Structure 1
Amino acid sequence: MPPGTQTTVREAAFAVFAHWGVDRLFGNPGSTELPLLRGLPFPYVQGLNEAVVLGMADGYARASGRAALVNLHSAAGTGHAMGNLFTAWKNNAPVVVTAGQQARPILPFDPFLFAERATEFPRPYVKWSAEPARAEDVPLALARAFAVALTPPMGPVFVSIPVDDWDRSCTMPALPSLVTRTAADPAALAPLATMLAEARNPALVLGTGIANAGGWDAAIALAEASGAAAWVAPYAAREVFPEDHLNFAGFLPAWRDRLSALLQPHDAILVVGAPVFTWHVEGSGPFWPPAATLALLSDDPQHLAALPGGQGVLGDPALGLSALANLLQPQRRHLRAARRVDPPAPAMAPDHVMSRIAALRPADAMIVEEAPTARGAMHDHLPITRSSGFYTCASGGLGHGLPAAIGVALAQSARVIALLGDGSAMYAIQGLYAARNERAAVSFVILNNGGYAALTGFAGEFGLNHVPGCDLSGIDFVQLAQAQGVPGRRVERVDQLDEALDWSFAETGPTLLDLRLA
């Protein structure tokens, strides 16, 4: 639609969506959103709860590389979505959230389904929030929302739209074509290259920002050019480096003393696409080995603002990694020994389950994980070896993994394996209905230990021997799946595991496996 065309707010909004490549709308409809849905030019992806809606959109945005469009109800619906909106914020997921508002003429009278301070509600977990002052300003606000969401560091945005705006007249605004990636200053990168070249034993600490910028190959190139060990930053929410590569060193913990001990052998440390560092508990001692030189490269100004010493460089991680690799002459260092992990004993335990998934998964399968007690076993026995091969939650909140797996499957053509704890799955179990409706190619694998085991395991940090409210025994996930149209199987014995995995991975639509861990 040419700029200056007289049209309705709805038709102008559809033109804005088309400009930014929107091909579906994630939502759960409410009365204040109905006029938007008239003549919708693309599919509507229904979620039975707004948290499911946000989770699907998050997975879709991160896996597709495009902004995902969400439509929520006013205050209550937005409130239901807030947990996964927080996760989208931490995930740097470019999600554009529109929320219904009551009609403008009755806003002064505190009407039913009214969001009194709509723009403040989702803050601080959105990059930008607006309720346009006039109906004719809605298309321009939506255009700005997409631009803000997609500008690194990416993240969710929020636009509140009164229900009577959609049929009002407006003028179609001009829409920009943006290039949002910004390369670091070459003069700032040169000292980083010197640091790596002169180091005896350099290390790279790689974070989610690398995957967000498409830096998988660039990270490999720099590790090989510098001879550096490649560590995964604490709580990285994406794949950052092939875990079967000789330079792969392992995963850094979110405990200060343990992290510093693992990095102790290194005399130069370059952190890329992550803060220095993400901690889970209060710790003591240095943030990194005192004898090591430290530098940070990130496109997130907040990472630089919180840098506790060392040198910080602002810029696109993928472009920066490539530039650094080009500045270095390949180092003639002794090849590192491959990271070795002993094979697990056959048992219905997370380490054996992960090893069998690794052996039987399709070659192009993608992993979505929200199983906190099994993450260590996954790191050891289910290596991520391909770009776009892994997604998890950066916030620590539950209820993201199940719907996110659906969103990833809608964005990609490969099989998705969703590794879910039983407690995690119950936060968004109604997402299975959307998986059935969308024929999403997801294998939902429930690692069922009958409780919130991550919480009981962590209780020792606070001197607790017992945590109330953590028993989840008695839930039948196969019946929950079948009630929503998803076939499921219960696996109780280790000799049933391979057959069940083969069945699930061979299906074209969604399946669920309830694995009863010993």
Structure 2
Amino acid sequence: MTESATTEPTTVRHAVLDLLRSLGMTTIFGNPGSTELPLFLDFPADFRYVLGLQESVVVGMADGYAQATGNAAFINLHSAAGVGHAMGNIFTAHKNRTPLVITAGQQARSILPFEPFLFSAQATELPKPYVKWSCEPARAQDVPLAIARAYYMAMQEPKGPVLVSIPADDWARPAQPVAPRTVSTMARPEPELLERIGQQLDASRRPALVVGAAVDRAGAWDAVVALAERYQARVWVAPMSGRAGFPEHHPLFAGFLPAMRERIVQLLEGSDAVLALGAPVFTYHVEGAGPHLPAGAQLAQLIDDPAMAAWSPVGLAVVGNIRLGVLDLLARPVAGGARQAPPRRAAPPEPAAPAAGERMSAAYVLHQLNLARRPGDIVVEEAPSARPVMQQHLPMRESGSFYTMCSGGLGYSLPAAVGVALGRPGEKVIALIGDGSSLYSIQALWSAAQLRLPITFLILNNRGYAALNMFAPAFGFAPGAELPGTALPGIDFVGLAQAQGCVGLRATDAASLRALLPQALASSVPTLLDIEID
């Protein structure tokens, strides 16, 4: 970016819009309220406003857009209530390490002492701890500088959301323009510590890599493939990873680590060196005991987040950009000689077609999807009960081909699919969503229809919160026990889609799936296919 300066005064609104232009942020995601209206006076023609019908939808769409484009997305929320509605997906953006510049309306400064209607009492505290920084500028003329700072902080690794609270009467106040600056967003890992990682890999005979979402975020996909091939290392995906970090059809791909300590140790058994790339060590979902690694294994971690490096329980942790670190490892000479390739991951058996009158299994549906999709199609997933099956039957083969939430919070992926489609125009986006998950943000279908995006929404409809039933035995429930509050009968997803302007289809058996799935995938307008599964 070129640097320029001017002393000509302007308004806060014009200074902010000019700054956003210079930063490539001419798309605004929002759900407007009264305190935000002054931003949109004489709204410029070169900006695009993407409306979400609820604030969590707004943040989910912006998150998908930011991940797809690699640049921070700009969000405009409504005071305390709007930020509160959005908090679930702000939490997810924090876990996803997605750069978001969130602005929230505030009541006019002159009436703030009187606790007016629709004000935010502690605007900067409300989103914490799930924003990197939050600010309500002391003066109106400081707003453009605050937004500039927010952008640079959002884009610095580890990336994440930030929030600026802006009183409604600030937008018309005079302010100085803010010229864009060049600000470094990443750091190179320490060479001495990378050398120690390289020496561990050189000395190993059975190395393993554990890849996380930061591999794809950093653009390190190809470099990690080269590193794995150099050392003939088995490659695992870290627990709860929101992006694909390695081609899942590659001979060195080993599979997915679950969020269970003992099971991770079991799967890594036999490895003498484990290198975690862009992933925590490790994410657990249930209580466990014992060691974090198999006996005799050395652990190293290359991570873009110093907080993760600090809490990692064992091993050498190196902080810095993943791609730069892996490139530096590849640049050093290799010692230790050639290694024998590990055995390939066993291919899953082809799921059997259901008998006439029987509902389809998730495995059968996902196998059919794998046969029908094109190589470059993008999958945005939120079907927790079907995820292990998806990992068996729907391999991700390319960088940028898979998105989900790192947080475990539902309601992200359906609107995120809209944002990804906006950020990757002309590409097919497949939103693979559970019936329960979809209902947290079903209003995103309206935004997809208004924008006429070529998204195929596949609803895996098992009529309940099946993930809870799968988890229940871990908490003492008898297998197959009926849990209260987990059934979701009688929801008409085709009707919901059509009411919001999307095409709605329903597959109830194998024959209708084989007929309708290619039609849904080929559609150039948003199309929902409700798939009834066992």
The number of equivalent residue pairs is 518
Give the aligned partner of residue 308 of structure 1.
313
2:302 aligned residue: 297
Q: Quick check: 1:183–1:316 contact (8 Å CA) kept in 2?
A: yes
Equivalent of residue 343 in structure 1, options 339, 343, 350: 350
* Structure 2 counterpart SS, 1:429: coil
Q: Secondary structure at the match of 2:53?
A: coil
Provide the residue aligned with 1:406 in structure 2: 418
- Aligned twin of 2:37: 34
1:393 corresponding residue in structure 2? 405
SS of the aligned residue for 2:91 comes to helix
1:488: Cα distance to partner?
Answer: 1.0
Superposed displacement of residue 235, structure 1? 0.6
Counterparts of 1:229-268 in structure 2 under 5 Å? 229-268=234-273
Q: Does 1:324 align with 2:336?
A: no
The change in CA–CA distance for 1:470 and 1:328 in structure 2 (over 3 A counts) is farther
2:363 is the alignment partner of 1:360: no
- 1:336 Cα offset (Å): 3.2
Partner of 1:61: 66
Question: Could you list the per-position Cα deviations for residues 130-172 of structure 1 after superposition, in whole angstroms to 9, with x for gaps in the alignment?
Answer: 0001000000000000000000000000000000000000111
Q: Following the alignment from structure 2 to structure 1, what is the Cα–Cα distance between the partners of residues 277 and 7?
A: 44
SS in structure 2 at match of 1:369 = strand
Contact 1:95–1:155 (8 Å) recurs in 2: yes
**1:96/1:145 contact within 8 Å kept:** yes
With 430-439 and 307-316 compared, the bigger mean Cα shift is at 307-316
The 10-residue stretch of structure 1 (374-383 or 319-328) with the greater mean CA deviation from structure 2:
319-328
Equivalent pair of 1:459/1:466 in contact (CA under 8 Å): no
The answer to whether the Cα contact below 8 Å between 2:150 and 2:163 also exists between their aligned partners in 1 is yes
**2:357 aligned residue:** none
State yes or no: 1:108 paired with 2:113.
Answer: yes
Deviation at residue 321 of structure 1 after TM alignment: 1.1
Out of 75, 94, 98, the position equivalent to 2:99 is 94
The partner residue of 1:6 within 6, 9, 12 is: 9
With over 3 angstroms needed to count, the CA separation of the structure-2 counterparts of 1:499 and 1:104, relative to structure 1, is same
Matched, 1:503 2:510: no
CA contact (8 A) 2:205 2:339 kept: no
Report the identity percentage.
52
Gaps in structure 1 of 5+ consecutive residues: none
Q: Which segment drifts farther, 441-450 or 490-499?
A: 490-499
Give 3-state SS (helix, strand or coil) of 2:318's partner: strand
What is the one-letter code of the residue matched to 1:334? Q
- Alignment-mate amino acid for residue 441 of structure 1: P
- The 8 Å contact of residues 237 and 392 in structure 1, kept in 2 or not, is answered as yes
The residue type equivalent to 1:360 in the other structure is: A
What is the aligned partner in structure 2 of residue 516 from structure 1?
Answer: 532
Instruction: State whether residues 235 and 394 of structure 1, in contact with CA within 8 Å, keep that contact through their aligned partners in structure 2.
Output: yes
Counterpart of 2:456? 443
1:420 and 1:445 in contact (8 A); partners too: yes
1:25 to 6, 25, 28: 28
Q: How does 1:132-281 map to 2 (within 5 A)?
A: 132-281=137-286
Is the CA contact (8 Å cut-off) linking 2:11 and 2:173 kept in structure 1? yes
Q: What is aligned with 2:396? A: 384
CA distance in 1, matches of 2:333, 2:311: 28
User: In structure 2, what is the Cα distance between the partners aligned to 1:328 and 1:279?
Assistant: 36
Q: Does 1:52 align with 2:53?
A: no
Structure 1 length-normalised TM: 0.98
Superposition TM-score, scaled by structure 2 size:
0.95
Deviation of 1:309 after TM superposition, in Å, equals 1.9
The CA deviation at 1:185 is 1.5
The verdict on how the C-alpha distance between 1:5 and 1:475 changes in structure 2, with shifts beyond 3 A counting, is: same
Contact 1:436 1:510 in 2 (8 A): yes
Tell me which amino acid in the other structure corresponds to 1:415: K
Amino acid at match of 1:5: E
- Aligned partners of 1:253 and 1:259 also within 8 Å: yes
Amino acid in structure 1 at the alignment position of 2:421: A
How far apart are the structure 2 equivalents of 1:266 and 1:180?
Answer: 34
Conserved? CA contact 1:225–1:328, under 8 Å: no
Give the secondary structure class of the aligned counterpart of 1:444: strand
Cα distance in 2 between the residues matched to 1:370 and 1:408: 14
CA distance in 2 between partners of 1:39 and 1:238 (Å): 39
Q: Distance in 1 between matches of 2:365 and 2:330?
A: 38
The answer on 1:425 being equivalent to 2:431 is: no
Structure 2: 5+ residue stretches without partners: 355-359
Query: 1-side partners of 2:121 and 2:142: how far apart?
Result: 20
How far apart in 1 are the matches of 2:500 and 2:250? 41
Shift of 1:328: 4.5
Structure-2 separation of matches of 1:306 and 1:186: 22
Q: Distance in 2 between matches of 1:337 and 1:441?
A: 40
In structure 2, what residue type is equivalent to 1:426? L
1:469 matches 2:475? no
Partner Cα distance (1:272, 1:89) in 2: 19
Amino acid at match of 1:346: A
2:101 is paired with a residue whose SS is: strand
> Which of 450, 460, 472 is residue 473 of structure 2 equivalent to?
460
CA deviation after TM superposition for structure 1 residue 191, in Å? 1.2
Return the alpha-carbon distance in structure 2 between the equivalents of residues 391 and 338 of structure 1.
25
CA contact (8 A) 2:19 2:179 kept: no
Deviation readout 1:252-293 (Å, 9 max, x if unpaired): 010000000000110000111111100000001111113101
Q: 2: distance between equivalents of 1:230 and 1:3?
A: 53
1-structure distance, mates of 2:376, 2:77 = 33
* 1:70 is aligned to 2:68: no
Residue pair 1:221, 1:322 contacting (<8 A) in 2 also: no
* The 10-residue stretch of structure 1 (121-130 or 287-296) with the greater mean CA deviation from structure 2: 287-296
Distance in 2 between residues matched to 1:382 and 1:304, nearest whole Å:
32
Report SS of the residue matched to 1:117: coil
After superposing the two structures, state which structure 1 stretch, 160-169 or 32-41, moved more: 32-41
- How well do the aligned residues superpose, as a CA RMSD in angstroms? 1.2
Which AA in structure 1 matches 2:435? D
1:337 CA displacement: 3.3
Which position in structure 1 is the counterpart of 2:123? 118
